[in-house]
Amino acid sequence: SQQGEEDPQALSIQEGENATMNCSYKTSINNLQWYRQNSGRGLVHLILIRSNEREKHSGRLRVTLDTSKKSSSLLITASRAADTASYFCATDNYGQNFVFGPGTRLSVLP
């Protein structure tokens, strides 16, 4: 099974609401990264959180990491229609491998 797995697979919310996506992984990691992919485009890096960090913020994004549970969450606050995209987590196993999860498709309805 995949190292990183996002949950839920798909999420629909209204503009202005918060969106929370989760990522679970299986092995120890050096860092975990979140990426966004708009339809038909390449992935765009959002945020990187290292294994010794528990929380990180970037604008309307908040990422948490719980290494004891091997899980991370991405929170997008005050969502906008432009946030509609697929969101992927990726885990770095100390340079041994770098694995993307299957992604969460977020739809923000106006």
Partner 1 sequence: DAGVIQSPRHEVTEMGQEVTLRCKPISGHNSLFWYRQTMMRGLELLIYFNNNVPIDDSGMPEDRFSAKMPNASFSTLKIQPSEPRDSAVYFCASSLLGGSSYNEQFFGPGTRLTVL
| Interface region with partner 1, contact rule CB under 8 A, candidates 17-25, 29-37, 63-71, 73-81 | 29-37
DSSP, residue by residue, the chain: --S-EEE-SEEEEETTS-EEEEEE-SS--SEEEEEEE-TTS-EEEEEEEETT-SEEEETTEEEEEETTTTEEEEEE-S--GGG-EEEEEEEE-TTS-EEE---EEEEEE-
Q: Which of 2, 9, 27, 28 binds partner 1 (CB under 8 A)?
A: 2
Does the footprint of partner 1 cover residue 58 (CB under 8 A)? no
Does the footprint of partner 1 cover residue 41 (CB under 8 A)? yes
Cβ distance to partner 1 smaller for residue 47 or 75: 47
Q: Which of 14, 42, 52, 68 binds partner 1 (CB under 8 A)?
A: 42
Point out which residues bind partner 1 (CB under 8 A): 2, 30-31, 33, 41-45, 48, 88, 90, 92, 94-95, 97-103
